[in-house]
Structure 1
Amino acid sequence: MVRNYDPDRPVPAELVDKLLGYAVHAPSAGFSQGWEFLVLSSAEDVARFWSVTTPEDALPSGWLEGMSRAPVIVVPHSHRDAYLDRYAEPDKGWTDKDEARWPVPYWHIDTGMASLLVLLGAVDEGLGACFFGIPPAQIPGYRAAFDVPEAYTPIGAMTIGYRAQDKKSPSLRRGRREAGTVTHRGRWTPSAEL
């Protein structure tokens, strides 16, 4: 995840379109494809995003300063009703749109997978990107600023741009967990605590 961007290097629109082309190849339950992406690439839209999503009591930070230099923000939205409608179709066998049938909210999961394809595509294209959350208290202001309908849930946001020199996150000191400590074969076995 890149948290500092070169503000003098815009990302070509065709490259952003290419990244979104990767996103629509993500798997989705029932091929529901219940995702939508809001692309913010004008300086005005990017500045408005930060103004409506940054809490008033937020302290100035290097993270926010570096992230706000990204020339592009893509906000992925999940659309629950696309899944409920799809699974009420005859080939799926359900006759209702009961959300309780779903073991987990696949609309969010599938949108997350689509977002991951954007992130991986950004790396392949020589860009930097970072996925982060929009504070829940700021979502109404975000919706109002960009006319986002209530039926669409922003699951986060992604900054995209050309990488600038950055400080490593202190969180990296935790180290990456080894595959053997998170993998269980045949039956669940205790793993090391975080």
Structure 2
Amino acid sequence: MTSALKYRIKLATAVALGAIALICAGATALSASLATMDIPLASDLTPAREARARLLAETPGGQALALEHNAAVLRTSPLNTDAYLRQAYVQTRSGAPLDAASLDALERSYTVEPFGSGSAHWRLAFIFEHWGEVTPSLRQQAAQELDALIMAKRPFRPKLINNPSGRLAAVLLYEKARRAQAIKQALEQSSVPAG
């Protein structure tokens, strides 16, 4: 076999694999954007299911299907914090209070990611909005996450919480965390030798 023929075979293989990858990516993107359309193979991929669950969670009457897709995401990605949070969120979309499965999903979200980088603000706001429904364990974990958020100097706006009891708890915990941070900074500054 000549080197020119080898090159052509390699080139044809690379082009074919590239085309297959593009087709798969396109099918996945299409499947994710069209929540009600089933596209063979692509609809069963985790990113497509997650996108569908996210879209259906916001669609009136789509909660049951959103939970179905979300459960499929959790079967394939049990460390997906967003999927646990979505499960709790979908439960409340109909106006129903948090149930045992939702509370368990919130607990699992803290197990998977105790101090969520991308989900911290949303999770805290959600927990404070449902302050009367969450367990003492979730309240404690939310307080610790808020402390971590303040220590990382990331903003949080407790006064935007609509639930009066949740807003009060958020404001009190926020101020407590800010005071603790100020004390820590003062101690660090006083222990630095003058140079």
TM-score class normalised by the smaller sequence: under 0.3
TM-score by length of 1: 0.25
Which has more radius of gyration? 2
Higher strand share: 1
Larger helix percent: 2
